[in-house]
Amino acid sequence: MLLVSVGAGLAASAASARLTPLEQRWVKPLLAVWTQQNAALHLVIPAASAKDALLVGTAANAKLTTVLNTFVVCSPELRKAGDPPSPRLRPYLAALTTACTHATSGAHDFAKAVGAVGKGKGALAQSYLARGVAEFKRATSALTTAYRAIIAIGGKNIFTA
């Protein structure tokens, strides 16, 4: 009975928690990074699967390159934000950093696949694509963790504002 009461109290305090104005200012540019990463993770596989996407110089390849670039610029954006203004934001930043790291690795793998296709090395390209997909799955998981971390401390309003 005591555990239920304590659990209910923790849930209620998490539900009523809100980010301070300072935390909101710090999170705002990182929310843009989160949103861009999330959108790109939804687009990357369809973009890479498009006809001629792995052939340099095609319109489909240009679209894929734009999506992949979204991943590569992620980490510099996080560095620009600096350290979080409060310890409770550290899990959010850590998860977002992990997402960026995996997404960037996936982007590099896909770029290597494009290079392999250009050299006529289809098997190598498939290997790079498989590695890239695995990295994008890890990035998606980390992005979900970041979302949950910010929601847990009262940041739900930043996703709906």
Q: For residue 70, what are its two tokens? A: 């979204």
Q: Which residues, other chains included, contact 56 with Cβ-Cβ below 8 Å and sequence gap of 6+?
A: 114, 118
Q: Which residues, other chains included, contact 129 with Cβ-Cβ below 8 Å and sequence gap of 6+?
A: 48, 109, 110, 113
- Report pLDDT digits (tens) over 57-88: 999 999 999 999 999 999 999 999 999 999 99
User: For residue 11, is pLDDT > 70?
Assistant: no
- Report pLDDT digits (tens) over 86-128: 999 999 999 999 999 999 999 999 999 999 999 999 999 999 9
User: For residue 8, is pLDDT > 60?
Assistant: no
The answer to whether 53 touches 47, Cβ cutoff 8 Å, is yes
- Report pLDDT digits (tens) over 25-41: 999 999 999 999 999 99
The answer to whether 37 touches 71, Cβ cutoff 8 Å, is yes
- 123, containing H or E segment: helix 122-152
- Residue 160: pLDDT band with limits 50, 70, 90: low
| Whole-number pLDDT of residue 157 | 76
Please state the domain extents for the chain.
Answer: 22-160
Q: What's the pTM value of the predicted model, to 2 decimals?
A: 0.86
